[in-house]
Copies of this chain bind each other. A is one copy, B any other.
Amino acid sequence: MERRRRGRILHHQLLPLWRTASLLSPCAWPGKPLIAYSHNTWKLDSGLPMHSESGYWRPKHDGSVEVVIAQSTGLAEVLKGTHIAEDKVIKLQSQVVANASKLREISRVHEMVNGELHYVVQMATNLTALQPHLKAVLKKLP
């Protein structure tokens, strides 16, 4: 069962003037409590691909979630957090950020608001505390 979402990036820390689009493609893994995940962004004007990432969401029965993500920049992330069903929100905090020279910490919050998926990534570096890196809103594709 594939469910794809597409949307606009509202804020990007490094690329404020670039217009990009996102495609989030979670694909439930039949027979396993596992969601295969890929997320791609590209420039709206040229269609050129930008960032890409893929991995797996591993929901647990106790409401906790473990996520492992490989990024096209070469970075690997392991995040842990919680799914709060009544608030339709998943909050994740990095446990591991590997193969990153400056990046130390990543948080990701996914929240359903009026049927739209709001998506915020915060990052901390060697020099800065957690701050918004990316905000996006994604609508369900038919």
Q: Which residues of A line the B interface, CB within 8 A? A: 29-32, 34, 36, 38, 48-49, 52, 54-56, 58, 66, 68-72, 74-78, 95-96, 98-99
The distance in angstroms between the C-alpha atoms of A64 and B72, with both chains bound, is 16
25 A-B residue pairs with CB within 8 Å: A29-B49, A29-B72, A30-B48, A30-B49, A34-B52, A36-B52, A36-B54, A36-B72, A38-B54, A52-B56, A54-B54, A54-B70, A55-B55, A56-B70, A56-B74, A58-B74, A66-B74, A66-B99, A68-B71, A68-B74, A68-B76, A68-B99, A69-B70, A76-B98, A78-B99
The majority secondary structure among interface residues of chain A is: strand
A78 touches B56 (CB 8 A): no
Chain B residues near A58 (CB-CB < 8 A): 74
Chain B residues near A96 (CB-CB < 8 A): 76, 98-99
B68 touches A56 (CB 8 A): no
Chain B residues near A56 (CB-CB < 8 A): 52, 54, 70-72, 74
Chain B residues near A70 (CB-CB < 8 A): 54-56, 68-70, 76
Please give me the residue from chain B that is nearest to A52 by CB atom: B36
The distance in angstroms between the C-alpha atoms of A58 and B98, with both chains bound, is 15
